[in-house]
């Protein structure tokens, strides 16, 4: 079967606009990173596999199968469709993932893998689900999944991640580097709420939504562009050692990125 690419993303900017219960509402510009992606494919299981009927992922992951975003996507899709074909597919095939996107990095690797898996199943099994339906399923897996479902190069993402609006602009060439620091996104948000809480207003939100990514990066510092950078540095002090001038912080980290001039 064919291989599918699950692209990384960076947050050109990420600003908090408010809260919704325990969640934080955001306005963020997500941009696809064209030169960084995982690959996913279905591979036939071996007849000798002792656990032939179990859901199987082949790849280098630090978590158990049931904690994996792809497994969660399978479970959410099964719940939504009640598809016998889906169960048969995953009984006969494993999902093989070649990981290139670092984990715990703010690059959306797990979310992108989950979204790509949902789209693969929809295509291979002719489930006939719309992108909106897939995005609804994906949101149960993670807040960033809908962006990857829609497959935009660039988009304004708001709410808690469920509102994805395409932003038409040229895709920028982006270089990333990821220090070997495992960052907890919930922990960074907790520190933000306790020590740095300062949501932007609707006027600032609208201004950002209309701004091209290159313009946004040229008009803001790394701390101005991403509200999670200061709390991340406070909690993970070693991040400071890796920060270089001209780079920006993606998501809750630990990745930094910059635009490479064309």
Catalytic annotation, residues? 9, 144
Neighbouring CB atoms inside 10 A of 185's CB total: 16
Neighbouring CB atoms inside 10 A of 29's CB total: 25
For residues 142 and 226, the answer to whether their CB atoms sit within 8 Å is no
Beta-bridge partner residues of 128: none
Cβ neighbors of 123 (< 8 A, separation 6 or more) are: none
CA proximity to 79, closest of 137, 34, 28: 137
Neighbouring CB atoms inside 10 A of 59's CB total: 16
Place of tokens 């990095």: 105
For residues 255 and 177, the answer to whether their CB atoms sit within 8 Å is yes
Cα angle, residue 70 at apex, residues 96 and 85 outer, rounded to 5°: 80
Residues 104-140: b if buried by 16+ CB within 10 A, e if exposed: bbbbbbbbbbbbbbbbbbbebbebebeeebbbbbbbe
Return d(Cα 259, Cα 112) in angstroms, integer. Answer: 21
CA proximity to 29, closest of 242, 196, 257, 261: 257
Cβ neighbors of 102 (< 8 A, separation 6 or more) are: 109, 178, 255
């Amino acid at each position: 079967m064919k291989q599918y690419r699950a692209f990384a993303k960076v947050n050109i900017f990420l600003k908090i606009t408010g809260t919704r219960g325990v969640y934080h509402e955001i306005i963020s510009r997500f941009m696809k990173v064209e030169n960084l992606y995982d690959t996913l494919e279905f591979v036939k299981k071996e007849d000798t596999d002792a656990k032939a009927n179990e859901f199987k992922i082949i790849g280098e992951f630090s978590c158990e199968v049931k904690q994996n975003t792809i497994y969660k996507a399978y479970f959410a899709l099964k719940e939504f469709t009640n598809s016998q074909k889906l169960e048969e597919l995953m009984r006969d095939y494993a999902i093989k993932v070649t990981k290139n996107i670092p984990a715990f990095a703010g690059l959306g690797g797990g979310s992108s893998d989950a979204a790509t898996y949902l789209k693969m199943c929809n295509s291979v099994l002719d489930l006939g689900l719309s992108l909106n339906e897939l995005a609804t399923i994906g949101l149960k897996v993670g807040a960033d999944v809908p962006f990857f479902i829609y497959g935009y190069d660039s988009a304004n993402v708001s709410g808690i991640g469920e509102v994805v609006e395409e932003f038409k602009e040229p895709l920028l060439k982006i270089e990333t580097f990821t220090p070997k620091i495992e960052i907890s996104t919930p922990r960074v948000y907790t520190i933000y709420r306790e020590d740095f809480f300062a949501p932007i207003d609707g006027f600032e939100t609208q201004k950002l939504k209309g701004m091209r990514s290159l313009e946004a990066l040229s008009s803001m510092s790394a701390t101005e562009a991403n509200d999670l950078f200061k709390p991340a540095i406070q909690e993970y002090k070693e991040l400071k050692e890796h920060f270089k001038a001209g780079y920006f912080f993606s998501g809750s980290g630990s990745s930094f990125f910059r635009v490479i001039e064309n």
